[in-house]
């Protein structure tokens, strides 16, 4: 299959209408999209990504009305969150109607739903009469794509068209929130909306992002988002290996050539750091060094989600 890149919404809509895959820009990361109501189309996503069938997909819709067609109900707290953060980087788990194929949810009775904020994808969703199932447009377990060229690097030949929406403005996957019965609302994945902002709207939540304790979110495997070369997390004051690349939050380490260091945000701005994170990991991965040494950010706000990605990308020693 020949993979082309462009801005042609009619072409993207036509491919999706005929059961093909299209890579779409969102504010979080690029998604690999298919008609969420068509199991044959959805199967192509799993094949292209080499994604295991136990890892459910997020369904993207253009509006709350569209969502009501495929979920049983939207609980009041979920509605409050949707009204506060949609369109935006928040995914909510809701009870699905039978029209959502089991393949999309890996057999779970909830479906992960989001209204994305990228204007091109919003227009595309408006043109379609079905929602889009779309996981990140990378090979399973690898670094998520935040620009069209990243998608092409990993999925050329496996997706017909990449809708180019430029660099992703958030750069981190969505925060996933669920409402388990008789429990506090639960965050299953840290992401583009910080925990503090969610709690400001619905009060105290549980944060339970790891697969080991949380088989309900099978995608949250501990090793994920990983570059090809080993990534180690180093605390201040630990040994600094030769022949490594360094991922820094805001300043350069003394004594290491600047050419081997990447700074995520000189201004210590978490949003900038999030936007740069995955492109930085890719760049360090292709540098002529044997490992990546990453520094954790302050563990609050978006820093917490960035640290989660760095920990999942890291080699555990
Ligand atoms: P991705 O689209 O690649 O960012 O991954 C989507 C992630 O959403 C999965 O890996 C799961 O962690 C989570 N997810 C999707 N659907 C559900 C669901 N029904 N219940 C719990 N987690 C889900
Ligand atoms: Mg992913």
Kindly report the CATH number assigned to the domain that includes residue 295: 3.40.50.11030
Could you tell me if the CB of 104 is within 6 A of ligand 1?
A: no
Q: Which two tokens stand for residue 55?
A: 């890892």
Q: Please report the pLDDT score of residue 222 as a whole number.
A: 57
| Same domain assignment for residues 28 and 137 | yes
Q: CA neighbours within 13 Å on the CB side: how many for 275?
A: 12
Residues contacting 232, CB < 8 A, separation 6+: 244, 291, 292, 293, 294, 314, 315, 317
| Same domain assignment for residues 143 and 206 | yes
How many angstroms separate the alpha carbon of residue 253 from the centre of ligand 2?
A: 31
Could you tell me if the CB of 110 is within 6 A of ligand 1?
A: yes
Q: 220, 251, 277 — which closes off a domain?
A: 220
Report the nearest-CA residue for atom 7 of ligand 1: 219
Percent of the chain with pLDDT over 90: 86
Relative to the alpha carbon of 221, which ligand is closest?
1
Of 23, 31, 46, 57, best ligand 1 pocket probe by most atoms within 8 Å of the beta carbon: 57
Domain holding 298, by residue range, is 226-313
Nearest atom in ligand 1 to 104's CA: 16
| Same domain assignment for residues 36 and 110 | yes
Of 27, 28, 53, 58, best ligand 1 pocket probe by most atoms within 8 Å of the beta carbon: 58
Exposed, middle or buried by CB within 10 Å (0-12, 13-18, 19+), for 296?
Answer: middle
| Same domain assignment for residues 167 and 232 | no
Q: 151, 185, 220 — which closes off a domain?
A: 220
| Same domain assignment for residues 44 and 133 | yes
What number is the average pLDDT over the span 16-30? 98
pLDDT in tens, 112-139: 999 999 999 999 999 999 999 999 999 9
Relative to the alpha carbon of 114, which ligand is closest?
1
Strands 291-294 and 175-178: unpaired
How many angstroms separate the alpha carbon of residue 254 from the centre of ligand 1?
A: 40
We report the CATH number of the domain holding residue 30 as 3.90.870.10
Q: Are 279 and 172 in contact (CB under 8 A)?
A: no
CA dihedral angle for residue 191, residue 123, residue 39, residue 1, rounded to 10 degrees: -100
What number is the average pLDDT over the span 196-216? 80
| Same domain assignment for residues 216 and 159 | yes
* Cα separation values, 299 from 190, 270, 303, Å: 12, 11, 5
* Cα separation values, 250 from 59, 123, 263, Å: 35, 36, 5
Q: Please report the pLDDT score of residue 315 as a whole number.
A: 76
**CA–CA distance, 61 with 130 (Å, rounded to integer):** 8
| Same domain assignment for residues 213 and 249 | no
Relative to the alpha carbon of 110, which ligand is closest?
1
| Same domain assignment for residues 169 and 206 | yes
Q: Please report the pLDDT score of residue 234 as a whole number.
A: 86
How many angstroms separate the alpha carbon of residue 153 from the centre of ligand 2?
A: 16
pLDDT in tens, 262-315: 999 999 999 999 999 999 999 999 999 999 999 999 999 999 999 999 999 997
| Same domain assignment for residues 90 and 198 | yes
| Same domain assignment for residues 142 and 276 | no
How many angstroms separate the alpha carbon of residue 255 from the centre of ligand 2?
A: 36
| Same domain assignment for residues 17 and 59 | yes
Cross-sheet strand order for the sheet of 175-178: 4-6, 161-163, 22-24, 31-35, 132-133, 58-60, 110-114, 90-95, 175-178, 186-189, 206-207
How many structural domains is the chain composed of? 2
Could you tell me if the CB of 176 is within 6 A of ligand 1?
A: yes
Q: 165, 199, 220 — which closes off a domain?
A: 220
| Same domain assignment for residues 269 and 123 | no
How many angstroms separate the alpha carbon of residue 135 from the centre of ligand 2?
A: 6
Q: What is the pTM of this model?
A: 0.94
């Amino acid at each position: 299959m020949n993979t082309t890149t462009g801005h042609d919404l009619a072409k993207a809509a036509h491919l999706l209408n005929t059961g093909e895959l299209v890579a779409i820009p969102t504010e979080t990361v690029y998604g690999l999209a298919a008609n969420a109501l068509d199991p044959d189309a959805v199967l192509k996503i799993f094949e292209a990504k080499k994604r295991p069938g136990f890892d459910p997909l997020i369904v993207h819709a253009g509006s709350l009305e569209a969502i009501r067609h495929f979920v049983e109900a939207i609980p009041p707290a979920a509605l409050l969150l949707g009204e506060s953060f949609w369109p935006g980087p928040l995914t909510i788990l809701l009870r699905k109607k039978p029209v959502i194929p089991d393949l999309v949810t890996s057999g779970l009775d909830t479906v992960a739903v989001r209204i994305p904020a990228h204007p091109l994808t919003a227009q595309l969703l408006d043109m379609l009469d079905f929602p889009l199932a779309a996981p990140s447009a990378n090979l399973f377990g690898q670094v998520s794509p935040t620009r069209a060229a990243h998608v092409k690097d990993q999925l050329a030949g496996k997706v017909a068209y990449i809708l180019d929406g430029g660099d992703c403005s958030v750069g981190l996957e969505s925060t996933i929130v669920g409402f388990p019965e008789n429990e506090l609302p639960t965050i299953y994945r840290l992401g583009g909306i910080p925990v503090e902002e969610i709690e400001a709207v619905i009060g105290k939540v549980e944060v339970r992002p790891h697969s080991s304790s949380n088989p309900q979110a099978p995608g949250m495997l501990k090793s994920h988002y990983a570059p090809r070369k080993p990534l180690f997390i180093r605390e201040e004051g630990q040994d600094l290996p030769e022949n490594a690349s360094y991922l820094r939050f805001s300043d350069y380490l003394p004594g290491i050539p600047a050419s081997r260091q990447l700074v995520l945000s000189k201004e210590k701005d978490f949003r900038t750091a999030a936007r740069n994170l995955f492109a930085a990991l890719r760049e360090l991965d292709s540098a002529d060094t044997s490992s990546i040494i990453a520094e954790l950010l302050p563990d609050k706000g978006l820093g917490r989600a960035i640290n989660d990605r760095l920990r999942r990308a890291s080699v555990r020693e």
